[in-house]
Amino acid sequence: MTTTRGLRDREEPITMLTAYDAQTAAVVDEAGIDVVLVGDSMGNTALGYDSTLPVTMADVRSRTAAVARAVEDALVVADMPFLSFGLEEAESVRNAGELLKEADADAVKIESGPHTVETTRRMTEVGIPVMAHLGLTPQHVNRLGGYTRQGTDEEAAAEILDLARAHEEAGAFALVLEHVPSNLAAAVTEALETPTIGIGAGADCDGQVLVVDDVIGLGEWSPPFSRQFGDVRGEMERAIEDYRDAVETGEFPGEEHAHVEEDLEDVYRPDDG
């Protein structure tokens, strides 16, 4: 069993992957991945939007519940969707709590900024473990003007380091660093006790996370910092096209897939109609 406390002080790097459904989550969990993130990247992947912004609490609640039903060992983290936090403190905490109470998440993740320090503290105080997320925060795509690398000048890098410290002090149990220079990620990892989990942030973080669709080769597109370890889309295409051909040629279903019920001989005679 992976626990939020157990992520600290481990020998090997922490492994984290997204999952948005029970079948994928079961495979991820059985592979021994430490943390399953029900990412709001479901917007770009499972749900077919072109950003994460349209993803709702209902989407994340339903997908988190499916993942939690399938996972036995990994820590299940629900990613709070755009505008489900950050407006009012009480509403943010209530939404986070809903993901623990009703969807069986173990923790939530919040795209962090100066405005989430107190939110992180409040959630932690009431017993909701919070994973922070700094660097590229895709819910801010309209403000950032694209999914660009973050923390690339002294001022921006110092702000990320300061916010990392502030979220650690507020009680975050882990910190995702997305699309930042590897030397900045190394400096943040060095400065914190809290484990860092990188995506496009180099090898010096305490762990790594990627979107599962990118790893297995399910989607049509993946970011430059990702690696495709398989070709699931190719295999799905082959299987589905083979099925289509088998039906069209009459090769499927065969006799082994059908059943003739001898007792029906009296009530059904093919030459009746």
Ligand X SMILES: CC(C)C(=O)C(=O)O
Q: Which residues are annotated as a binding site?
A: 40-41, 79, 109, 111
Q: How far is the CB of 244 from ligand X (least distance, A)?
A: 32
Site string for Mg ion, 3-42 (x = CB under 5 A): ------------------------------------xx--
- Closer to Mg ion by CB, 59 or 187: give it: 59
Residue nearest to ligand MHF (CB): 146
d(CA 160, CA 53): 23
d(CA 78, CA 24): 15
Local structure of 48: helix, strand or coil: coil
Q: Among residues 213, 215, 216, 217, which is the contact residue for ligand MHF, using CB under 6 A?
A: 213
Assess contact for 91 and 62: CB atoms under 8 A.
no
- Closer to ligand MHF by CB, 88 or 231: give it: 231
Cα–Cα nearest to 147, from 211, 207, 80: 211
Contact between 139 and ligand X (CB under 6 A)? Answer: no
- Dihedral (CA of 65, 66, 68, 69) sign: positive
- Which listed range, 32-40, 117-125, 143-151, 240-248, lies at the site for ligand X (CB under 6 A)? 32-40
Structure tokens at 144: 């950032």
| Catalytic annotation, pick one of 72, 178, 220, 262 | 178
Q: Among residues 39, 86, 195, 207, which is the contact residue for ligand X, using CB under 6 A?
A: 39
Q: What's the alpha-carbon Rg for the chain, to the nearest Å?
A: 23
262 annotated active-site: no
Q: How many residues does the chain have?
A: 273
d(CA 160, CA 28): 30
Whether a cis peptide bond, with omega within 30° of 0, leads into 181 is no
Contact between 29 and ligand X (CB under 6 A)? Answer: no
Return binding residues for 3-methyl-2-oxobutanoate: 40-41, 79, 109
Contact between 113 and ligand X (CB under 6 A)? Answer: no
d(CA 221, CA 216): 12
Structure tokens at 250: 């009459």
Contact between 41 and ligand MHF (CB under 6 A)? Answer: yes
Q: Choose among ligand X, Mg ion, ligand MHF, none what residue 24 binds, the Cβ cut-off being 5 to 8 Å by kind.
A: none
Catalytic residues: 178
Which residues form the interface with ligand MHF (CB under 6 A)? 41, 44-45, 52, 138, 146-149, 179, 211, 213-214, 219, 222-224, 226
